[in-house]
Amino acid sequence: MQTAVSWVSEADTLPHPYLLFLGDTVEPSYAKTAFGLRDWAPERCVGEFACEAATVTTGLPWLTPAQARAAGARAMVIGVANPGGHIPSSWIPPLIQALEAGLDLIGGMHTRLPAVEPLRQAALTLGRRLIDVREPPPNIPVATGAKRSGNRLLTVGTDCALGKKYTALALARAFRARGVDADFRATGQTGILIAGAGMPMDAVVADFAAGAAEALSPAAAPTHWDVIEGQGSLSHPAYAGVSLAILHGSQPDVIVVCHEPGRAHALGYPHYALPSIEETLHLALRLGARTNPAIRCAGVSLNTGKLDAAGAQRTIDEVAHRLGLPVADPVRGGAGFTALVDACLQRSAPG
């Protein structure tokens, strides 16, 4: 394992197990933190809790904070990543309820928990902790653009919240299962909570963002792989900046393009049509070549969660035939995912 700059040094330093808070969320894509923890750290999750207006569920047991504390929970995690990362006033009473039940609060929002005065006062009075994981470390350097040893893979997407993190986690796990020295490098709050380390890229000052990506994936042994979680989309009207910074700073040798079949518009921006897989692939290769001229695309990852098994396979086969590349849904696995892993590893970057 290689050492990278990280904010949370170890997952075990966070108080867990967790109660997952879903706020008043009605759009499943905005509850990606809760779903990510449920799927990739289930041993640290005891249940879910939400406001009355919420319609999204992780399928975990619904528990009040007091019930969760009795079941062993030590903290409530805000499992929502809403636009702007704010904490609405409707969340304050249930968050205070968790503090009163004896739970610490863990947040990954742009709004820092201690900045919300009722939460700060309640935590102070009750002796509870307010923990923010979306806080970058100090003294991040400006990017150098210098080539680093080791191998890097970056997941890029046609949009936000459609599988970049899941794909990176699945590929890193598959690499290690083959005996390859590989690290998953988290770039967002959910990945940091899952992995216990990472860089909250969208909280880094813009001038230092590419440097943060360099620090996240440092020089490594020639056989080592860093599998880097992408953020946003190079075509997103709001979040393209962080996507480009990660692309330039990580200098990926390999990209995997992530897409959700059937999604027609950018999440939260219905007046912006989603770019095609081909457009995203070519744009990432063209821009990525600025810091790594040897960049290549290994294949495509599809989020087919809204399709049945037969429909998912038809879609995977159609896209693979159209592009002439391996295509798979990492959650479903199978021969397509094996082929995608093969393609990722078929050529290592020079050390």
pLDDT of residue 39: 95
pLDDT of residue 347: 60
Task: Kindly report the pTM of this predicted structure.
Answer: 0.89
CATH 3.40.50.720 placement within the chain:
11-132
Where are any strands of DSSP class E within the chain? 18-21, 45-49, 75-78, 104-107, 130-132, 151-157, 182-185, 225-228, 254-259, 265-266, 269-273, 296-302, 327-328
pLDDT tens figures, 176-224: 999 999 999 999 999 999 998 899 999 999 999 999 999 999 999 999 9
What amino acid occupies position 46?
Answer: V
Architecture in CATH of 151-345: 3-Layer(aba) Sandwich (3.40)
In percent, how much of the chain has pLDDT > 90?
90
CATH 3.40.50.300 residue ranges of the chain are: 151-345
| CATH fold of the domain at 11-132 | Rossmann fold (3.40.50)
pLDDT over threshold 50, residue 1: no
Residue-wise pLDDT for 221-262, tens only, equals 999 999 999 999 999 999 999 999 999 999 999 999 999 999
Q: Residue 140's closest CA among 234, 227, 192, 206?
A: 206
Q: H helices of 101-195, where?
A: 117-126, 164-177, 189-195
Q: How far apart are the first and last CA of the chain?
A: 16
